[in-house]
């Protein structure tokens, strides 16, 4: 259980460096654009730490447009731009490409091709810092990774870099590297071809995908594989792109990943990308969630849960296949949906393998890491760097723990699975906190908005007042919450679950009552 607590601490205390803005208020020029597909064709020069090639952006323009606006970091140089096969004018500064023409671009389909290259941003402290990492493995082979969650896809591809728009028809990626190296990417490997001491790897996903998952890793990899049978009976390839000298670790690691997948399917439904693969790739940084190809750099350091090896990092990042990749927030303001529900899912592995007491112990310990310095949901149109703080993990997960207690398992778990499986909330349909609140309200038949507001939009704690009113008699009442809540109260006769409201209830006990002894609430208890 300690590894989960340490994980919350790790994420809460690692403050990110200054980043190029990602998210925020959508620019009007980009609100007019609906991205359909990206086609990325690049060669990587490992020695020069550079890239060169082009990206095609297939989009629909809702209205005629004087300008098409794409994001691309200034460290890369744009050489030429075409729109529907015709050269177009452009400027590239402030990490934006303004594309213009003598006549407005017509409404409807537009194919924008951008030829570019140069030396991309270098990550200083991945995965918390974004950029490319060019390094070597222990045998001296070139090794490259990309991290982009804080800056987005514009770190190396021209794109509409906003969480509210994912390419509806996915991505094709053709990456050329020196012969002997392997590219690991999202989706399915269509083919690899070698010519003139270079190999081109064609990766393709037909699913929508968030921009920070549109990336690749390069290394001297072996590919170790096995098959996974999903809860719905689909045969899904599992592949591990592992450094050659670590290949012996891979079969056991995939066994652990299979166990994690079965647990997550139990609570969240079938693995979301069953038509493509379950993939992981060894990276020089600790790890990061990337759709169908999670980055892994935890060096096969296992803890024990239920007498079995367990990798906390892989369990957390793999959970993002549901929370962040399949269920995706349209605004970074709702980041907790990715990290909070994902972190709650981490604890469900312990619940499933060890039981309720071990699960509850996780939250008894993790509550000390909740800072409560600012709300989990800070408003609307929030940039990633502002939205990212430790409480989206720890308090977001604890909120789900509280919600489970308030609603009971018979309501909570089916509603959670509905959130992860219903087309209203998945794939093409992005979500907000209000959507999650309405779902749980409908499932329970109770207005859950007050609880969502208390935990996610405020820094208050649930305040409970306990007053001795007579010999061995106490009044227990809520102070700052209008809706009745179930609360466990430990008395001299045992622990009893009571429905408590602002009016309060009377408890008889020869000892001072202990409120919420198993810690299902973030609370303060005032004794009088």
- Residues 28-41 have pLDDT tens digits of 999 999 999 999 99
Identify the band that residue 18 occupies on the pLDDT scale cut at 50, 70 and 90. low
For residue 3, pLDDT over 70 is answered with: no
Average pLDDT, rounded, for the chain = 95
Residue 19 is predicted with a pLDDT of 72
For residue 4, pLDDT over 70 is answered with: no
Identify the band that residue 12 occupies on the pLDDT scale cut at 50, 70 and 90. very low
Question: What mean pLDDT is predicted for residues 498-522?
Answer: 98
Q: Under 8 Å CB-to-CB from 371, ≥6 apart: which residues?
A: 12, 389, 390, 391
Give the helix ranges, DSSP H, for 273-324: 312-319
Residue 60 is predicted with a pLDDT of 98
Residue 33 is predicted with a pLDDT of 98
Identify the band that residue 385 occupies on the pLDDT scale cut at 50, 70 and 90. very high
Question: What mean pLDDT is predicted for residues 421-437?
Answer: 98
- Residue 471 phi/psi, 5° resolution? -65, 120
For residue 426, pLDDT over 90 is answered with: yes
Q: What are the structural domain ranges in the chain?
A: 2-16+329-456, 31-161+164-318, 462-527
Q: Per residue, what are the HEC states of 111-178?
A: EEEEEEEECCCECCCCCCCCEEEEEECCCCCEEEEEECCCCCHHHCCCECCCCCCCCCCCEEEEEEEE
User: Which CATH number among 3.30.70.100, 3.40.50.11860, 2.60.40.1730, 3.10.180.10 corresponds to the domain 31-161+164-318?
Assistant: 2.60.40.1730
Question: What mean pLDDT is predicted for residues 269-287?
Answer: 98
What CATH architecture does domain 2-16+329-456 belong to? Orthogonal Bundle (1.10)
Which among 432, 446, 443, 404 has a CA at the least distance from the CA of 267? Answer: 404
The CA-to-CA distance between both ends of the chain, in Å, stands at 35
Equal fold, 2-16+329-456 vs 31-161+164-318: no
Residue 5 is predicted with a pLDDT of 38
Q: Please give the structure tokens belonging to residue 109.
A: 């389909």
For residue 252, pLDDT over 70 is answered with: yes
70-94, pLDDT tens digit by residue? 999 999 999 999 999 999 999 999 9
What SS3 state is found at 221? strand
Residue 315 to residue 202: CA distance in whole angstroms = 28
- Are 515 and 464 in contact, with CB atoms under 8 Å apart? yes
CATH class of 462-527: mainly beta
- Cα torsion 8, 435, 428, 110 to 10°: value is -110
């Amino acid at each position: 259980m300690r590894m989960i607590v340490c994980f919350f601490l790790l994420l809460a205390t690692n403050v990110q460096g200054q980043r190029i803005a990602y998210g925020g208020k959508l620019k009007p020029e980009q609100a007019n654009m609906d991205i359909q597909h990206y086609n990325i064709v690049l060669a990587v020069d490992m020695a020069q730490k550079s890239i060169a090639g082009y990206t095609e952006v297939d989009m629909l323009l809702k209205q005629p447009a004087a300008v098409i606006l794409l994001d691309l970091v200034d460290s890369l140089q744009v050489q030429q731009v075409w729109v529907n096969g015709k050269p177009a004018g452009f400027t590239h500064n402030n990490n934006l490409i303004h594309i213009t023409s003598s006549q407005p671009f017509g409404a409807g389909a537009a194919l924008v091709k951008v030829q570019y290259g140069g030396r991309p941003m270098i990550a200083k402290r991945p995965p918390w810092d974004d950029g490319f990492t060019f390094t070597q493995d222990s045998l001296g082979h070139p090794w490259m990774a990309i991290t982009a969650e804080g800056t987005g896809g514009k770190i190396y591809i021209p794109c509409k870099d906003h969480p509210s728009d994912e390419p509806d028809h996915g991505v094709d990626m053709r990456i050329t590297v020196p012969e002997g190296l392997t590219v690991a990417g999202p989706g399915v490997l269509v083919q690899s071809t070698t010519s003139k001491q270079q190999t081109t790897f064609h990766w393709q996903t037909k699913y929508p995908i968030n921009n920070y998952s549109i990336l690749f890793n390069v290394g001297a990899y072996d590919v170790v594989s096995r098959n996974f049978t999903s809860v719905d009976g689909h045969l899904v390839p599992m592949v591990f792109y592992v450094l050659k000298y670590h290949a012996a670790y891979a079969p056991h690691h995939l066994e652990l990943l299979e166990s994690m997948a079965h647990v997550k399917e139990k609570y969240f439904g079938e693995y979301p990308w069953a038509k493509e693969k379950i993939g992981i790739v060894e990276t020089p940084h600790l790890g990061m969630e990337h759709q169908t190809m999670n980055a892994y750099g935890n060096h096969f350091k296992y803890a024990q849960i239920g007498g079995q090896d367990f990798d906390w990092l892989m369990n957390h990042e793999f959970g993002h296949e549901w929370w962040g990749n399949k269920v995706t927030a349209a605004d970074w303001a709702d980041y907790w949906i990715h990290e909070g529900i994902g972190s709650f899912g981490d604890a469900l592995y312990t619940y499933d393998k060890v039981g309720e007491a071990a699960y509850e112990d996780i939250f008894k310990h993790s509550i000390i890491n909740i800072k409560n310095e600012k709300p989990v949901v800070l408003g609307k149109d929030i940039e990633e760097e502002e939205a990212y703080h430790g409480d989206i993990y720890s308090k977001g997960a604890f909120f789900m723990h509280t919600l489970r207690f308030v609603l009971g398992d018979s309501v909570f778990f089916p509603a959670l699975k509905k959130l992860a499986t219903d087309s209203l909330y998945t794939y093409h349909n992005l979500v907000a906190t209000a959507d999650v609140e309405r779902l749980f309200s409908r499932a329970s038949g109770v207005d859950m908005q007050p609880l969502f507001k208390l935990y996610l939009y405020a820094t208050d704690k649930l305040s409970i007042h306990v007053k001795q009113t007579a010999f061995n008699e106490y009044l227990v009442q809520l102070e700052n919450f209008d809706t009745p809540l179930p609360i466990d109260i430990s008395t001299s006769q045992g622990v009893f679950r009571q429905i408590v409201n602002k009016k309060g209830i009377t408890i008889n006990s020869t000892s001072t009552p202990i409120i919420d002894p198993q810690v299902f609430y973030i609370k303060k208890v005032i004794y009088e």
